[in-house]
Chain A
Amino acid sequence: MKGINFKKFFASPRWVTVAWVVGLIVVWEIGATVVAGVKRTPENVLPHLYQIIGSVFSTQKANSTQTAIQIVLANAWVTLARAGIGFVIGAFAGFVLALLMSLFSAVEKMIFPYLMIIQMIPILGMAPIVLAITKDIDKSRIVIAAILTFYPVATNTLSGFKSVEREKRELMYSYAANRYEVYRKLLIPSSLPYLFTGLKIAAPMAITASILVDTLQGGGGLGCMMSQSLKHAMTIYVFWQIVFLSAIIGILSYQLMAWLEKLVSPNQRGEGAATTAKEQMQ
């Protein structure tokens, strides 16, 4: 009897995921225990998870005015707001460029090869130079996040425009629909799943970029606090909290895009569309 329940318990995919998470926690804790036995300052290498969680609720001040979690959250806001602005600008620019490329084949021919090349260019490596040009950490956060968002959105949306079957276009033509109507009623709606594939790829990248730009200058933000904590200017748990927070934010940003997609187009949910988008992109 017990055996059957056990089987049922693990039958659903959700429990499999939970089991994996539990397994990972166990592995982390074993690692932390080993490290605690060997190292002089285990919290620098691999603290126990309960120590990290404990530090979140600790009321001890990490600098003169704030506790660790207050520092982290205040700086997370700075980083996220900039990443968000850059993300929106980049997504908008990417969509407009895809529209232009689909409207005028000359533009596509001119820009598309560079769009492919730009994917292979390590933009994050250019972060310091963008900072030097804009001379402002906020602006450079926005610019880098926008550039990183821009190309997945542009390429995916373009392949979305191209994925529309010829028959559908011909049908619109037979209705004597003008260009605006064709885009408004056929091309833009059917490119939406592709647009969201691009957004899902871009969202965690925009956040990574924003954190990385933080580390370049001491102007606040998660990355800045992270490097200060690593240099032991404040408690090391600030670093660990940021690690977990950035992981959570990265995953949440992806989920947010998936949720937005459901909100915008509840009927067409395209895992299939998403994979074709990726394949066509390449």
Chain B
Amino acid sequence: MKNGRSFWDQLTSILYPVAFGVLIVTLWQTGVLHAILGADTFILPLPGRIFDIIQDNQALIMTNVQATLIVALGGLLLGSLVGYLLGVLAAVFSKWGKGGLTLASAFNAIPIIAIAPILNNLTKDFSSDANIRSMFAKILVVTITSTVAMSVNAYRGLTELKPFSLDLMKSYAATERQIFFKLRLPNSVPYIFTALRVSVPGSVISALVSEYFAEYIIGVGRQIRENIVLAQYATAWAYITVACLMGILMYVVLLIFESILLKGRR
């Protein structure tokens, strides 16, 4: 009996969301959704048409996806590295570090929109090629947005140790260096993933927004905007779909990495 119920439970937890998704897509395809939102098929094209456009423009879309991915991943990598190093510094010089991190989390509340144009202006001299210099500016925006989450979490991972583990290490007469590499560093690994779960979706969003302000017209985010300016809503929707897929895929990749690396730790 109990077995049967848990099977039913599992079945419904797959069946319900799928049914909900099918319902939405059906409403969309049959035009009911348009009636509710008061939109026409020009502004809100049917799902079939969006997928046709994605298929027809594969090559062009891929170049833009590539540009956005370089920005998102480059910034994510750079920001996470810098963030982790800041976390380590904060853990080593705890008194000063903590104040710095408080300030860093305050920076988290600063809108990306305020940062993007500043960095655009700052990097004007970086290269004579508009593509490269605006790429650099965009990566910097993503770097800044993903640094904060990582530094705060790394600091927590390096300092919030299991009770008595520090005492145990001290009783072994372990040096600070040994404590760092054998206790603090491994302890911080799950926290790195906590930070990444925030900053991976964040990096895609920052990349898209920074493209809005970039000098050189490339990237998924910019294409959404450009196509709407040209009133090509169906193409814009194709890029929106691609952007969503990018965000979801990156998150899934992160989850896979996490489940491999943290196997048996949680």
Partner-B contacts on A (CB < 8 A):
10, 13, 16-17, 19-21, 24, 44-46, 106, 109-114, 117, 119-126, 128-129, 131-133, 204, 207-208, 211-212, 215-216, 223, 226, 230, 239, 242-243, 246-247, 250-251, 253-254, 278-279, 282
Bound CA span A51–B208, Å: 32
Do B17 and A17 touch (CB < 8 A)? no
Are the C-beta atoms of B111 and A211 separated by less than 8 Å? yes
26 pairs, A vs B, C-beta closer than 8 Å: A17-B103, A109-B12, A109-B13, A110-B16, A110-B20, A112-B17, A113-B17, A114-B21, A120-B247, A125-B205, A125-B209, A125-B224, A126-B240, A128-B224, A129-B43, A133-B39, A204-B111, A207-B111, A208-B112, A211-B114, A226-B117, A243-B118, A246-B113, A250-B111, A251-B109, A282-B197
Closest to A106 in B: B16
Contacts of B29 in A (CB 8 A): none
Contacts of B16 in A (CB 8 A): 106, 109-110
Q: How far apart are A241's CB and chain B's nearest CB, in angstroms?
A: 11
Distance of A130 from chain B, by nearest CB (Å): 10
Size category of the B interface is 35 or more
Once A16-B98, A204-B109, A212-B209 are accepted as A-B contacts, the answer to whether A242 and B114 lie under 8 Å apart by CB is: yes
Among A13, A111, A125, A133, chain B packs the most CB atoms within 10 A around the CB of A125
How does the 8 Å CB contact mask read for B176-212 relative to A, with 1 for contact and 0 for none?
0000000000000000001001000100110011001
Report if A226-B113 is in contact (Cβ < 8 Å); known contacts: A16-B98, A117-B248.
yes
A250 and B225 alpha carbons, distance in the complex (Å): 25
Judge whether B37 and A133 touch: CB under 8 Å: yes
Interface of A is mostly: helix
Once A114-B17, A121-B244, A133-B37 are accepted as A-B contacts, the answer to whether A16 and B111 lie under 8 Å apart by CB is no
Please name the residue on chain B nearest to A222 by beta carbon: B113
Q: A44 to B248, Cβ gap below 8 A?
A: no
B28 to nearest A CB, angstroms?
13
B110's contact among A119, A124, A133, A250, by CB below 8 Å, is which?
Answer: A250
Q: For residue A251, which residues in chain B have a CB less than 8 angstroms away from its CB?
A: 106, 109-110
How would you classify the secondary structure of chain B's contact residues: helix, strand, loop or mixed?
helix
State whether B233 touches A129 (Cβ < 8 A). Answer: yes
Query: A250 contacts which of B37, B109, B194, B197 (Cβ < 8 Å)?
Result: B109
A279 vs B16: C-alpha distance when bound (angstroms): 25
Give A243's nearest chain B residue, CB to CB: B114
Chain B residue numbers with a CB within 8 Å of A133 are 37-39, 43-44
Q: A20-B99, A106-B16, A133-B44 are in contact. Are A246 and B204 (CB under 8 A)?
A: no
A13 and B111 in contact, given A111-B20, A239-B117 (Cβ under 8 angstroms): no
With A110-B16, A122-B205, A243-B118 in contact, do A129 and B110 touch (Cβ < 8 Å)? no
- In chain B, positions 219-246 with a C-beta closer than 8 Å to chain A are 220-221, 224-225, 228, 233, 236-237, 240, 243-244
Is A21 touching B103 in the complex (CB atoms < 8 A)? yes
Report the minimum CB–CB distance from A141 to chain B (whole Å).
13
Interchain CB contact under 8 A, A254 and B124: no
In the complex, what distance in Å separates the CA atom of A121 from the CA atom of B251? Answer: 10
Name the residue on B nearest A133 (C-beta). B39
Bitwise interface map of B from 67 to 110 toward A, beta carbon under 8 Å scored 1, else 0: 00000000000000000000000000001101110110010111
Chain B residues contacting A204 (CB-CB under 8 Å) are: 108-111
9 closest A-B pairs by CB? A16-B99, A250-B109, A208-B111, A120-B247, A128-B228, A204-B109, A110-B16, A109-B16, A247-B110
Chain B residues lying within 8 Å of A247, measured Cβ to Cβ, are: 109-111, 114
Other-chain contact of A110, B17, B99, B102 (Cβ < 8 Å): B17
Q: Which residues of chain B come closer than 8 Å to A253, judged between CB atoms?
A: 109
